């Protein structure tokens, strides 16, 4: 097991604020692309498109704090999604691709 991933977790796989709905019963996660992997991959994706708000991350970290290398992992995990979005939707995602590639080059 990777020293920066304690154990595999069940992941949503497409966890961003557009895939969370709310009603009187609480939140609903929609449009999953489920797989097992590092829990921080889902958390990283939540930060791509505006995030979930500071209260979400405080609550998450109070129960299961992110690793000390999360900032690096976030850029690497999100690189795939930025490359995919660049391919599908164009140059607006180039900055995220470049940022991720710089992090990969430093690792």
How far is residue 77 from each of residues 28, 37, 40, 55, measured CA to CA in Å?
A: 24, 11, 8, 23
Say how far apart CA 37 and CA 15 lie, in whole Å.
Answer: 14
59, two tokens? 């609550």
DSSP one-letter string for 15-49: -SGGGEEEETTEEEE-S---EEE-HHHHHHHHTTT
Catalytic residue among 14, 23, 25, 61: 14
Q: 38 catalytic, yes or no?
A: no
- Annotated active-site positions, please? 14
């Amino acid at each position: 097991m990777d020293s920066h991933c304690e154990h595999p977790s069940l992941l949503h796989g497409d966890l961003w604020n557009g895939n969370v709905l709310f009603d009187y019963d609480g939140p609903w996660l929609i449009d999953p692309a489920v797989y097992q992997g590092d829990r921080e991959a889902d958390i990283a994706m939540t930060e791509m498109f505006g995030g979930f708000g500071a209260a979400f991350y405080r609550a998450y970290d109070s129960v299961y704090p992110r690793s000390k290398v999360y900032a690096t992992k976030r850029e690497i995990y999100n690189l795939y999604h930025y490359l995919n979005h660049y391919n599908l939707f164009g140059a607006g995602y180039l900055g995220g691709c470049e940022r991720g590639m710089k992090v990969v080059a430093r690792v």
